[in-house]
Amino acid sequence: MFTFITDYFSQVGERLDWNGELVQCVVFPKLFGTAYTDLGFAAACKDPALSTTLFGALGNTLIAVFLGYGIAMVVGLVLAMGQRTKSKILTRIVREFVEFIRSTPLVVQIFFVFFVGPQFGITLSPWVAGMIAIGLHYAAYLSEVYRGALAAVPAGQAEACIALNLSARRSFFGIILPQAVPLALPGMGNYLIGIFKDTPMLMVIGVAEMMHVATAIGSEYWRYTEVMTIVGLIFLALSLPTAALLRVIEAFVRQKLGMTR
Amino acid sequence: MEDMSQYPLELNGDDVPMVRFMNVSKRYGDLTVLDALNLDIQQSEMVTVIGPSGSGKTTVLRMLMTLEKINEGVIYVDGKPLTHMEKNGVLVPASDSYIRSVKGDIGMCFQHFNLFPHMTALQNCIEAPIHVLKMNKKEAIERAEDMLEMVGLADKKDQHPIRLSGGQQQRVAIARALCMRPKVMLLDEVTSALDPEVIGEVTNVIKKLVAEHNLTMLMVTHQMGFARDISDRVCFFFDGKIEEQGTPTALFDNPQRERTQQFLSAVKSAD
Ligand SMILES: Nc1ncnc2c1ncn2[C@@H]1O[C@H](COP(=O)(O)OP(=O)(O)OP(=O)(O)O)[C@@H](O)[C@H]1O
Ligand SMILES: [Mg+2]
């Protein structure tokens, strides 16, 4: 009954081999194995991407998500706190920085960090450049989520902190921030999925994430439909449960904080 | 610029009041909320502030709690300036660290309780003693349990605020403030957000406080009966000034000023 699926995934494709001759090859059984490096394409291109499979690249994609999001969460908090200080100048500078990042495309930022850095003597590997770019980009967005969540904590909480003579540090980290966490989680979840879906942009500087490898495979066999379908399905298969998982986490955090009945 | 040399660096003598507002003015833009307020509150005195909405009652408490900056004048607490500090022999606006070193003498309870929702009643009460007074956890817990006992909530100590009724939350808030052993306690309409049937449990706690502790208290309330019962002195605020003040009997039974009479009869007919 489902043979059409297996048929589809075991189609014979054609590719030009490196000598320019048209050869036939089985496309998909090789997608998930190490076999496809045997084709010699990698050796010819010396592209690190091609030493990995699509699933191997998925690992890289996830690493990129966690590193990039980790950077974004921490830097985002710094950016949000920078806009809560008494210093008007600092607030202004951080504000402009956030606006600047939010009003330029991520791809451009990735290119910029990778290719413009060397002009000033800063040479970064694709991974480092990619993580800085995507981390800062999402830090700007997360800082807005944090800022909104912090502002949504009732003013009476800060006043109670003053009345109890708590230090500014303790008030923020002990009282205001914990209450902002459940408020920030939905927005944070959106951007977690967002960063996941934006990792393909890292291919422009040669980070071996899924899209990079998929494109390489596609060009290898001259067939893009199947491999892109699989990439799309992998993204879908991970995004959907993440959204559900985030709702569970939010409920859990609220309960842990004692903020549900 | 205000001439600061008219204000003493500190108050000395036999009858230094616990709190002194000296020529204190507060403005929001063009709106003068308090106009050259002078008010002394003696050690252990219970002073109640009444008056129409917008007359500046809350503002008085908030200035004393340093939640609002003042525009003119000086506030002294226990003889020491609160809003200002000495520099080269004159008073200058106080730094944040100076304010923190003085305002520990003051505690406040709010209309909407402002308990920390992510902490249990007990955690609410030990938070400041541990982090501000640097008490060890065991002592802080003992003190907090005593205070929760005093407000009749020993059995609710491990509940989060969301599971407590309004009256219970307000009593936790009172216990939390008392755990800091303030010399002056500020109560801003602490029963206004409560259902009528639980108002009594909060006013009873306050009565007990007045009877058993020698706290100095400044309270804003709309409950005239309660004010009459427990106050040493009642101040009637009108339009940013003290229109009239006196003992509860004098003020409630024999008000001298026309505005006081109007206010009291308006309140009475509303009851
Ligand atoms: N942050 C603010 N900005 C501008 N005006 C303010 C601010 N806070 C208070 N006011 C004004 O100051 C005046 C006094 O306010 P306050 O809260 O002290 O009145 P109140 O006597 O406590 O009134 P109520 O009985 O309604 O609580 C009011 O006219 C109010 O509108
Ligand atoms: Mg008020």
* The pLDDT value given to residue A18: 54
Q: Is residue A84 part of a domain?
A: yes
| pLDDT surpassing 80 at residue A54 | no
Say yes or no: CB of residue B193 within 6 Å of ligand 1: no
> Between chains, do A174 and B65 touch, taking CB under 8 Å as contact?
no
Strands ordered across the beta sheet of B31-41:
B31-41, B19-28, B72-77, B80-81
Give the amino acid at A117: G
Residue in A160, A178, A259 closest to B162 by CB: A259
Of residues B39, B42, B86, the one with CA closest to residue B59: B39
* Residue A50 placed within a domain: no
Least reliable range by pLDDT among A61-75, A157-171, A205-219, B147-161: A205-219
CB contact under 8 A, A162 and B67: yes
Q: How many distinct structural domains can be found in chain B?
A: 1
The residue among B268 and A130 whose pLDDT is bigger is A130
Residue A15 DSSP code: E
**Residue B127 confidence (pLDDT) above 90:** yes
Question: What is chain B's mean pLDDT, rounded?
Answer: 94
Find the CATH number of the domain harbouring A155: 1.10.3720.10
Domain range spanning residue B39?
A: 4-270
Work out the mean pLDDT of chain A and round it to a whole number: 81
- What was the pLDDT predicted at A229? 83
| pLDDT value at residue A227 | 77
DSSP code per residue over A27-85: -GGGTSSGGGGGGSHHHHHT-GGGGS-HHHHHHHHHHHHHHHHHHHHHHHHHHHHHTSS
* C-alpha separations of A2 from A5, A6, A224, B152 in Å: 6, 7, 22, 70
Optimal mutation site among B118, B130, B143, interface A, most CBs of chain A within 10 A: B118
Distance from the alpha carbon of residue B55 to the mean position of ligand 1, in angstroms = 7
Ligand 1 pocket test: which of B25, B34, B55, B191 has the largest number of ligand atoms within 8 Å of its C-beta? B55
**Residue B92 at interface with chain A, using a CB cutoff of 8 Å:** no
Structural domain containing residue A140: 62-206
CA distances from B146 to A157, B142, B157 (A): 24, 6, 11
Q: Is residue A2 very low, low, confident or very high in pLDDT (cuts 50, 70, 90)?
A: very low
Residue B31 has phi, psi (to 5 degrees) of -85, 115
Q: Is residue A196 part of a domain?
A: yes
Q: Is B55 in the pocket of ligand 1 (CB under 6 A)?
A: yes
Confidence label for B168 from pLDDT (cuts 50, 70 and 90): very high
- CA B127, CA B137: separation in Å to the nearest integer? 9
**A140 domain-assigned:** yes
E strand map for B125-254? 184-188, 216-220, 233-238, 241-246
Q: Look at chain A and report how many structural domains it folds into.
A: 1
Q: What is the mean pLDDT of residues B131-158?
A: 96
Residue A10 burial (CB count, 10 A): 11
**Residue A99 to residue B39: CA distance in whole angstroms:** 49
- The model's pLDDT over B14-38, given as tens digits with 9 standing for 90+, comes to 889 999 999 999 999 999 999 999 9
Radius of gyration of chain B (CA): 19
Please classify residue B196 by burial: count the beta carbons closer than 10 Å to its beta carbon, then call 0-12 exposed, 13-18 middle and 19+ buried.
exposed
- State mean pLDDT over B178-206: 94
B177 touches chain A (CB under 8 A): yes
Residue A234 included in any domain:
no
Instruction: Residue B187: give its domain's CATH number.
Output: 3.40.50.300
Count CB-CB contacts under 10 A for residue A170.
18
Please name the member of A160, A162, A166 whose beta carbon is closest to the beta carbon of B66: A162
Q: For residues A142 and B24, give the distance between their C-alpha atoms in angstroms, rounded to a whole number.
A: 43
How do residues A194-241 score in pLDDT, each as one tens digit? 999 999 999 888 888 888 888 877 777 677 777 788 888 889 999 999
Evaluate whether A160 touches B119 at the Cβ level (below 8 Å): no
Q: Distance between CA atoms of A106 and A108, rounded to whole angstroms?
A: 5
Residue A100 lies in a domain: yes
Distance of CA A149 from the midpoint of ligand 1 (Å)? 27
10 Å CB burial of residue B65 (0-12, 13-18, 19+) is buried
Q: Which residues have C-beta within 8 Å of that of residue A86, sequence separation ≥ 6?
A: none
In a domain, A215, yes or no: no
**Spatial separation of the C-alpha atoms in residues B241 and B236, rounded to whole Å:** 8
Helix (H, G, I), strand (E, B) or coil at B91: strand
* ipTM exceeding the 0.90 mark: yes
| pLDDT tens-place string over residues A92-151 | 999 999 999 999 999 999 988 898 888 888 888 888 999 999 999 999 999 999 999 999
CA–CA separation, A61 and A193 (whole Å): 12
Exposure string for B88-116, b = 16+ CB within 10 A, e = fewer: eeebeebeeebbbebbbbbbbbbbbbbbb
User: Ligand 2 centre from B196 Cα, in Å?
Assistant: 19
In a domain, residue A224? The reply is no
